[in-house]
Amino acid sequence: MSKDTQTTVFEADLFNDIFSCISNSLLALEVHFGLDGAHEKVIGPDAQDDQFFRKTRTWETLSQGIDYALNGIEPPDGESMSVPGNLRDILHLASTDSRQPSPNWWMVVDMADGRFALDEGDPVSLPKVALLAKVDVRTVRNAISAGELVALKPEEHGLLSKEIQLDNASVRRWLQSRRGFKPTVQRSLDGITLDQVQTPAQFGAFMTEQGKRLAKSQQSSAPATHRHSLLTPEAIQLLEAGVFDLPLSVAFPLADLYQLERKAFIQCVMRVFFAEELAAL
């Protein structure tokens, strides 16, 4: 069975599971709260057919949640921040004493949480990095031991979670080498300027689009990288993945390379990747 087929089967199982849970929960609401007709209003006249349910807001929210968590596709409204919370609400509402959603649904929630933290430039917990990379926790721990991932010290970063938190830049860099990881697909950035870029994901998407525009106008495959010794193809690839792994001295040559205004570019880099240092200035 191919990976695409496995993913399709996995998603179908998730929807079959939640459909059954929600149906059961709505029947319980009718009995305990006297909400007559609630089941038919959401599930439809045939409790065995989910076609009516597929047209509801609930189905849309669940579909967008899976797309974002598993496939990295942002919701149409771009409000990725609300995805984990919306999923949690539905899963809690779909839970009764006799029937609870599959643990796989909570895995989807954790993946959505981890992806949002990654895209926003925040620390990502070790278990969620494993989920995003589609590897076991031991693999992530080995990467920490090998220095490929940087574990943060809670007392130095004000972290409250009991889970090990990993540095965002190191996670983004490491995930680029993992076959199972699917980067987030940013919605169109048409009209977005450098001063509006706020996160590593937006930065990477902006630079990718700028590179494509330059390549199209110059009829080349990518911006030239010969103007500075550190601007290698590998460095450009990481940059367009939202990882600024270069000294600040490269910022102006990089701005020139991408034909961006120097001051606006370095302000963007500082805002997105060096917020603490910028705040101290």
Q: Where are the alpha helices (DSSP H) in 122-167?
A: 126-133, 137-145, 154-157
pLDDT of residue 75: 86
Looking at residue 216, what is its pLDDT? 78
Q: What is the pTM assigned to this prediction?
A: 0.78
The predicted structure's pLDDT at residue 159: 61
User: Which secondary-structure segment (H or E) carries 16?
Assistant: helix 3-33
Count, residues in the chain: 281
Decide if 115 contacts 132 (C-beta within 8 A): yes
Of 184, 209, 216, 183, nearest in space to 194 by CA:
209
Tally: H helices and E strands in the chain: 14, 2
> What's residue 185's pLDDT?
80
Rounded CA separation 125/133 (Å): 12
Spell out the residues 6+ positions from residue 244 whose beta carbon is closer than 8 angstroms to its own: 169, 200, 203, 269, 272, 273
Q: What is the pLDDT of residue 5?
A: 62
- Residue 23, class by beta-carbon neighbours within 10 Å (0-12 exposed, 13-18 middle, 19+ buried)? buried
Residue 208 half-sphere exposure toward CB, CA atoms < 13 A: 17
Task: Identify any residues that bridge with 73 across adjacent strands, giving them in sequence order.
Answer: 185
- State residue 133's pLDDT score: 97
Q: Which residues of the chain have pLDDT under 70?
A: 1-7, 155-161, 187-191, 218-227
